[in-house]
Structures are given as C-alpha cells and as structure tokens.
Amino acid sequence: MTKKTSAYLRLRASRSLKALALAFAFCLALPLFGQDAVPAEILQRTVLIKVGSAYATAFSLDYEGKLYLVTARHVVAALPDTNATLQVKQGDKWAELHTTRTLYPPAKEVDIAVFETGEKVSTPFQVTAVRKGVGAALGQQVWFLGYPWGMGSRFMNGEIPFVKRGTMSAVDHSNPDAVIVYIDGFNNPGFSGGPIIYWDLATHTYGILGVIKGFRDDTAKLMVNGAQVDTELVVNSGILVGYSIQHAIQAIEQGKH
C-alpha cells in the first residue's frame, strides 16, 4: 500500500477532508443531534473502489488495532487472495491500494470480503461493528452508504458517498454463519460493499450493522386487456439485502489461525 492511500484509509485528513467535514457538519448539525444523520467519520471511511471496469463501495474497519477494508465478495471475486490491488478514488484521481491478504467468512454464501492492509490504527474509530447478539430493532431507521454508478457528493475536492435511509424490516438467522438483514430501502448498482449504519438505542452510539450485497430482484408486469402479465424485465423490489458485519469479524478471527 502506498503511504498516500494508507493515510487516506486511516483518516489522516487532508485540508479537503477537513473542509468536507466542516461543510457537512454545518449542513446537518441540527439533524445529527436527533440521530437523523450519520457521523462524518463513517462518511470519510467509506470509499469508492473500482475493480476492472466495475464500481463498488468499501469501508475501513479497525479491529484490535489493525486496519482492514471491507467490501462485497462478488465485487472482488476475480482478485487473488494474496497481494491484491484495488483502485481507490482519492479526490479526482485513482490510487492503487495494495493489500496483503483477502479474508472471507466461513460460509461461502456470505457476500463479504475483508482485505488486510498491514496497517495499524492508533486511535480506534468511533463507529464500530455491532457486537455479536446486538442489532437494530425491527422497524428502526437505518442508513446505508454507497456510490451509485460511481457517483458521490463533492466538497472542495473531497468526496463522500450517497446516504440513504431505510427501515430494518427483517433478519434471517436460520444459518448463524450467514445472517441476512433485509432493509426496506432502494439501493442502486454501486452500493455493493457499503456499510449499513444504525443508532444503538441501548448505548446511544452509532454502529455498523451489516454490509450491502444488493437488492432483491422483482419482475415488471404489464396490463393487457385489464389483466396483469408477467415480463422478463428485472426491476428493483425495494428490498435491500445485506449480511451481518459479524461475518467480517469472523473472517478476521479465522485469518489469525
């Protein structure tokens, strides 16, 4: 990893990122106090990546003092498991991020990949992975971050992801090694690998709930002579699908052995 990319992921903010944080905080100061927005920290930690010609989202995660980059497994499936290279957007340019190992959860169906960066985090991040057995309540508001079609918000050469909100609708614990979360909310191509954020009602802190896989497909229907006819046109059902962030922790723990 280059020093420049390393510093970017560890939030050693440049002037542009400081200006970005100030501008964002000013715009959303009042809603933030009502837990109606997400902290600037997780926005800065969520980055646009490119693998081949495909855009996606990733975010940095600290665990036991080490820095990792988390994204969706299907996005990076073609990359090697060691010494992989990602393209990370920094301002108006793309920079290479050289990783050491790619870690995967035990269950192959979990759409999460974790990259070891070989870097350490001196100060723990404030927005952390939700603890095992803890999560958002059904019906609770959540946020999900990403770069649809490679787009983001721009502030004085800094770039942050789109922020969308949804409702914690359902969770599937039938396989403890592949816990699925379902969010009532529209995401778009490019959100894959982004974080799902929630407000912990018990600790009054923000947490990372899961990692975005994509959305559940539906098929469009046509009205023909007053009757609905199925088509083969695939549309977004409005149900976001993600996997518990705990599976990223599983991947890291498994990588120790």
What Rg, from alpha-carbon coordinates, does the chain have? 18
Q: Which residue has the higher pLDDT, 252 or 29?
A: 252
C-alpha distances (whole Å) from 67 to each of 6, 93, 117, 168, 240 are 9, 22, 6, 28, 27
> What predicted TM-score, i.e. pTM, was given to this entire model?
0.85
48 touches 152 (CB < 8 A): yes
At a CB cut-off of 8 Å and minimum separation 6, what does 81 contact? Answer: 101, 102
245 touches 72 (CB < 8 A): no
d(CA 141, CA 155): 26
- pLDDT confidence band for 1 (50 / 70 / 90): low
pLDDT in tens, 224-236: 888 888 888 877 7
Q: What is the mean pLDDT of residues 104-110?
A: 96
CB atoms within 10 A of CB 96: 12
- What's the pLDDT score for residue 4? 55
- Tell whether the model's pLDDT for residue 36 goes beyond 90: no
pLDDT in tens, 139-182: 999 999 999 999 999 876 678 999 999 999 999 999 999 999 99
d(CA 17, CA 22): 9
Instruction: Walk me through the domains of the chain, giving residue ranges and CATH numbers.
Output: 3-255 (2.40.10.10)
- pLDDT confidence band for 127 (50 / 70 / 90): very high
| The two structure tokens encoding residue 173 | 């614990």
| The two structure tokens encoding residue 22 | 């100030």
From 196, 224, 37, select the one nearest 130 (Cα to Cα): 196
Characterize 145-177 residue by residue with b for buried, 16 or more Cβ atoms within 10 angstroms of its Cβ, and e for exposed. Answer: bbbbeeebeebeebbbbbbbebbbbebeeeeee
- What's the pLDDT score for residue 3? 57
- What's the pLDDT score for residue 25? 46
155 touches 68 (CB < 8 A): no
